[in-house]
Each structure stands twice: as C-alpha cells, then as structure tokens.
C-alpha cells in the first residue's frame, strides 16, 4: 500500500510570489523593530529581568511555560513575559490555550486588541488579573 501524495507544510513552500515576499519582508522589519525597541530580548537579558538563571529560562521553554522565538537565527523572548504586573502562571495557562498557533502568532496574540476583551489587549487584561477571559480569547484564536 502506498502512502498518498502529501503536500509539504505551508511554511516550507518556496516563496516565489512577489506579494508574499513583500509581506514576509515587512513582517521581518516589524520584528527587528520590536527587538530594537526592547520588546524582544536575548536570553541573558530575559533571564536577568525575570530574576532567573539561563538554565531556568531554558527549562521554562522546554516545559512550554515561556515563549521562545527565532529572529535572524537567534533566540529571542517577549519582554512582556518579565512584566511584574502579570503572574507567570497566567502566561503558562494562556500559552496552553493557544494550542498549535505559531510562535509568532502567540507573540502577537498578547499585543493585539480583541473585541471579546473590550477592545483591550490580552496583556492589559492579564495585568488586571482576569486570566479566565484571556484564556477564552486564546482558545478562540487557536480555533481559527
């Protein structure tokens, strides 16, 4: 019995469409800008801001309690994960609720305004201590 033909994963398709290439280039410019503005941090700075060791940071990533992103071949972390106004467990629970959303999709989830959250960002709502509302929004985002 032969296996049916499978298409390669969406992200592995060659980027020959000029419109797609421009969209991807613009996304990369925004990500680099976020890094320059301090919204994305390298591992040493992230561990320092969180008051943990680099090893603890790596463990948090491996246990899906921390979001690790790749930018220009380097690991970076959203600075908002070190926000003292948000309990770390809130990030763990919302990351789980985001399911298989891409890492960058997860990053932007916390920053984008949601009508279901009263036109506020998940990060703003988490600062208020309303984790359940953000978990519900995260589940909705994961289902799309």
Assess contact for 138 and 97: CB atoms under 8 A: yes
**pLDDT of 71 above 90:** yes
Cα–Cα distance for residue pair 10/99, rounded to 1 Å? 18
pTM attached to this predicted model: 0.82
DSSP symbol at 70: E
More confident residue, 8 or 137: 137
Q: How does the average pLDDT of the chain come out, rounded?
A: 90
Dist CA 60 CA 91 (whole Å): 11
Q: How far apart are CA 133 and CA 120, in angstroms?
A: 11
């Amino acid at each position: 019995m032969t296996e049916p033909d499978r298409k390669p994963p969406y992200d592995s398709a060659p980027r020959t469409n000029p419109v797609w290439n421009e969209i991807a280039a613009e996304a990369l410019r925004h990500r680099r800008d976020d890094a320059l503005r301090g919204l994305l941090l390298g591992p040493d700075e992230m561990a320092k801001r969180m008051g943990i060791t680099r090893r603890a940071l790596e463990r948090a990533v491996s246990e899906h309690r921390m979001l690790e992103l790749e930018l220009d071949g380097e690991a970076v972390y959203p600075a908002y994960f070190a926000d003292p106004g948000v309990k770390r467990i809130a990030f763990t629970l919302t990351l789980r609720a985001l399911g298989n959303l891409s890492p960058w999709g997860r990053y932007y989830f916390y920053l984008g305004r949601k009508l279901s959250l009263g036109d506020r960002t998940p990060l703003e709502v988490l600062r208020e201590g309303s984790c359940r509302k953000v978990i519900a929004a995260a589940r909705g985002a994961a289902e799309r």
